[in-house]
Structure 1
């Protein structure tokens, strides 16, 4: 294999586990530098994404330092979710150009399921697949580790020591308690789902104030997304979908049951909302529920 100037590794690392670390070390054995892109960097904490970009970067740097990797060989960058393949891929390409210019790039990662289709979106880059770390009859994955953390209340095995220590500290926080309650609520929602496609209406109201435009937002009551800003949502039947709505169908946009959003602009403020300066809201993506900040940014003009 040609030794590329830069290997790119994309992941959420929620949390970083021994398989992730091995993939990074393998890439560094084969290529000069490694760019690690921390996915979902614009999303709020959740049972799916319990750790912030800063926390994940700290875990990765500690694990690599313990493995003897010089810090100068690894660059870590946040990568936002766009719930749109073209926009997301453009972010990845720009991040690689920022680090290595137009030199040869290799893309590494484990091609396991639909979540890794992105490995085939960069035909001009060299694909350098990583090896899976097998556990019994399966493959080590972060979903099972989060299940152990939240459902069983255990710090799972097969974590780098620095990550295990970070998760032990995390269990003593109020954030862990809140996200554990969210985990159980989401599992109950998925268990009750009969497989029927779900749709929701999201109401978007903008008003003009003396200091500029405002968006009218509510706060999530919990247990899922407790306290986060949200566009008010109403469940819809599949035969009562609003005409002229902006549709957001990405299957990963929802924390629980996959749900298509139909965003409707309203002439009056929805019940239970309050005005928030639009610029203030747009500057705080990680205070929003699910993809509501992405939706707001797409449907509002620059402020």
Structure 2
């Protein structure tokens, strides 16, 4: 059986990794959809789809999850919810089960007759992209919230500096 997980992964953190491991206890393969693939370079979505794919690939590898167990597919948003599931199905291998905590995504797949499961969240107050990005901005400890390989990717691409730069207020010229 193949399952599908949709998430923005901004950035990939320990919670994502735990959810993927749990999903792989229930299915043979997981399709990981990197959602909102067209977004980057904002406070909420600082990383590109390519950077997020790199983070996921390295984190799964460093945790001993064989590449034969997953597919990573960037998915761009479309402005019409009623055709979003068809759009996603066109871009992914076939799947039987959907894992998502997003109520809109749940509803869209339920209406398309999929089995939808809310994945168990792993210390959600600590392990969330919002918390990781907040800590980066406030110069607090964020590295422990992400797998070591993800920390390396964020450092390699200047991710902390990017978020800090993007958070600056525009300076008006006088």
TM-score, normalised to structure 2's length? 0.84
- Matching residue of 2:88: 92
Unaligned stretches of 5+ in structure 2? none
Cα deviation for residue 45 of structure 1 reads: 2.3
Q: Do residues 107 (structure 1) and 98 (structure 2) align? A: yes
TM-score, normalised to structure 1's length? 0.51
Q: Give secondary structure in 1 for the equivalent of 2:3.
A: strand
| Higher helix content, 1 or 2 | 2
Q: Do residues 129 (structure 1) and 118 (structure 2) align? A: yes
Unaligned stretches of 5+ in structure 1? 186-221, 224-303
- Matching residue of 1:118: 105
Cα deviation for residue 120 of structure 1 reads: 2.3
Q: Partners of 2:81 and 2:121 in 1: how far apart? A: 24
Q: Work out which of the two has the higher radius of gyration on C-alpha atoms and give 1 or 2.
A: 1
The answer to whether the 8 Å contact 2:133/2:163 transfers is no
Q: Give secondary structure in 1 for the equivalent of 2:41.
A: coil
- Matching residue of 1:14: 10
- Report 1 or 2 for greater relative contact order, CA contacts < 8 Å, sequence distance ≥ 6: 2
- Matching residue of 2:61: 65
* Gap change, CA 1:151 and 1:89, over 3 Å in 2: farther
- Matching residue of 2:154: 167
| Higher strand content, 1 or 2 | 1
Q: Give secondary structure in 1 for the equivalent of 2:12.
A: coil
Aligned length: 169
CA RMSD for the aligned pairs?
Answer: 2.2
Q: Give secondary structure in 2 for the equivalent of 1:134.
A: coil
* Gap change, CA 1:89 and 1:183, over 3 Å in 2: farther
